[in-house]
Amino acid sequence: MNLPSDVEEIITAIYNKGKKLNPALTEETFFREILAFWLEQYERPEPIKTKKDVRLCNRLKQIFKTHNKTITDIAAMIGIDRPHLSNIANGKAEPSITVALLLEQATGEKLQELFYLEPIGKE
């Protein structure tokens, strides 16, 4: 890359700081992540869809497993009953905003990692 020396110094300093915080950080990962973050502002937004065009999906079961928690554990943490959380995790019910934000807090995952919209008719 042909970058001005001052820009190169700044990027190197940021990388070195990141490497101190996470010794496993590689240059490849660093540049991929930092460029994705910087370029995010230039991404074109998807056209707005309506509720009839999408369904709410989730990754709750996978995330609970990653955190070594059961549906029962998480339900108790956020103060809802297990069957209700099971219905949400199985896509049979949609969470309220309050429950979704409590799930975000309980798992430490971003809301967009927990839930996503999928176009209806997508196979």
Q: Tell me the domain boundaries of the chain.
A: 5-42, 51-119
Q: What is the pLDDT at residue 44?
A: 72
State pLDDT tens for residues 43-76: 777 777 888 999 999 999 999 999 999 999 999 9
Please compute the mean of the pLDDT values over residues 23-28 and round it to a whole number: 88
Q: What is the pLDDT at residue 47?
A: 75
Reported pTM: 0.60
State pLDDT tens for residues 75-122: 999 999 999 999 999 999 999 999 999 999 999 999 999 999 998 875
Q: How far apart are CA 111 and CA 45, in angstroms?
A: 18
Q: How far apart are CA 111 and CA 14, in angstroms?
A: 27
Q: What is the pLDDT at residue 32?
A: 84
Residues comprising the chain, all counted: 123
CATH class of 51-119: mainly alpha
Q: What is the pLDDT at residue 56?
A: 94
Q: Is the pLDDT of residue 31 over 90?
A: no
Q: What is the pLDDT at residue 1?
A: 58
| Residue bearing tokens 């409590």 | 102
